[in-house]
Amino acid sequence: MHDEMMVKLASIIKERIIDIEKTTHFFDHLERVHKTAIILSEKEGADLELVQLGALLHDVGHAIGEPHNETGARLAREILREVGYPEETIEKVARIVFRHRQSLDHELETLEEKIVWDADKIDLIGVTGVLRAFHWAGSIGISFEDEVKWSQERQTKLYDLLKTESAKKIAKKRHVRMMCLLGVLEKELTLADLES
C-alpha cells in the first residue's frame, strides 16, 4: 500500500506543478532532493516516510505563488488528504514543507525537518547548484558576472548552514568542485585566463 501511495503522490505532484515545468523547481529537482533526503535519513536515523513525503512536496508551492513555503504547506495538506494519508502525518509533513525555506533555518525542530532542509540545500551546492543558479539568473536578466559573485558568496554561507553531519560530508566535495568551477568561470568571463 505504501508504494502505491507514493506512486499516486508523485503523479499528483507532477500534474499540480506542470506550470513550473521549465523552472529550477520542477520534478527533477524534487526527485534529487527526495533521493538525497533518503540517504540522509538512513545515515541520521530519521522517520523515512516523513522525509520522503516532505522532500517530494517541499516545492509544490511554486506552482501557486509566493511565499512558496506557505502555499506549499497548504497544497501539501490537500494532496496528502487526496492520497489518503493520516492527519497526524499530514500535519508533520506540512511543517516540513513550511520550514524548508532558507530564511526559516532557525525554526527547524525535528530531525526530519533538518534533513529535508539539508537535502534541498545540497541541490544548490556543487555543479548542479551552479547550473540551477545560472538558469534562474538568465530567466530574470542577471549578468553572468554578477551571478558568479553572488554564487560565490551565497553558496559558502549555505554550506555553513547545513544542519546534519551527514549533509556536511556529502556537500563538502560538491562545495569544493563548485568553488573551483566558479573561479574558472570568473576568469573566463573577465578574460583573465587569456593573460598568461
Query: Looking at the whole model, is its pTM more than 0.85?
Result: no
Query: Do residues 4 and 100 share a domain?
Result: yes
Indicate whether 157 belongs to any domain.
Answer: yes
Question: At which of 47, 71, 104 does a domain end?
Answer: 104
Q: Give me the CATH number covering residue 186.
A: 1.20.58.1910
128 and 91 part of one domain:
no
Whether residues 91 and 156 fall in one domain: no
Give CA–CA dist 44/115, Å, rounded.
Answer: 8
| Grid coordinates of 66 | 509566493
Does any domain span residue 110?
Answer: no
Look up residue 176 and give its amino acid. V
In a domain, 115, yes or no: no
Dihedral sign, Cα of residue 88, residue 8, residue 96, residue 173: positive
Task: Please check whether residues 1 and 69 belong to one and the same domain.
Answer: yes
Residues 19, 70, single domain; the answer is: yes
Range of the domain at 179: 124-196
- The region, left, alpha or beta by phi > 0 then psi within -120 to 50, assigned to residue 36 is alpha
Which residue's entry shows cell 534529487?
32
Which among 104, 135, 166 is the end of a domain?
104
In a domain, residue 138? The reply is yes
DSSP 125: S
Cell of 82: 487526496
**CATH (domain of 7):** 1.10.3210.10
DSSP, res 21: T
Chain mean position to CA 142: 21
Whole-number pLDDT of residue 1: 44
Same domain, 134 and 163: yes
Cell readout for 141 is: 536578466
Across the chain, which has 196 residues, the per-10-residue mean pLDDT values are: 72 67 62 93 95 89 77 90 92 93 80 95 82 71 76 77 93 86 84 78
Q: Within this chain, do residues 42 and 79 fall inside the same structural domain, yes or no?
A: yes
Instruction: Report pLDDT digits (tens) over 52-74.
Output: 999 988 878 777 767 888 888 99
Domain count of the chain?
A: 2
97 and 3 share one domain: yes
What pLDDT is stored for residue 154 in this prediction? 74
**132 and 100, same structural domain?**
no
Buried b (16+ CB within 10 A) or exposed e, 77-112: bebbeebebeeeebebbbbbbbbbbeeebeebebbb
How far is it, in rounded angstroms, from Cα 79 to Cα 16? 9
Q: Are 89 and 4 in the same domain?
A: yes
pLDDT for the residue 92: 97
Backbone angles phi, psi at 8, to 5 degrees: -60, -45
Rounded CA separation 96/113 (Å): 5
Residues 3 and 99 in one domain: yes
Task: Based on the fold, state whether residues 98 and 22 are members of the same structural domain.
Answer: yes
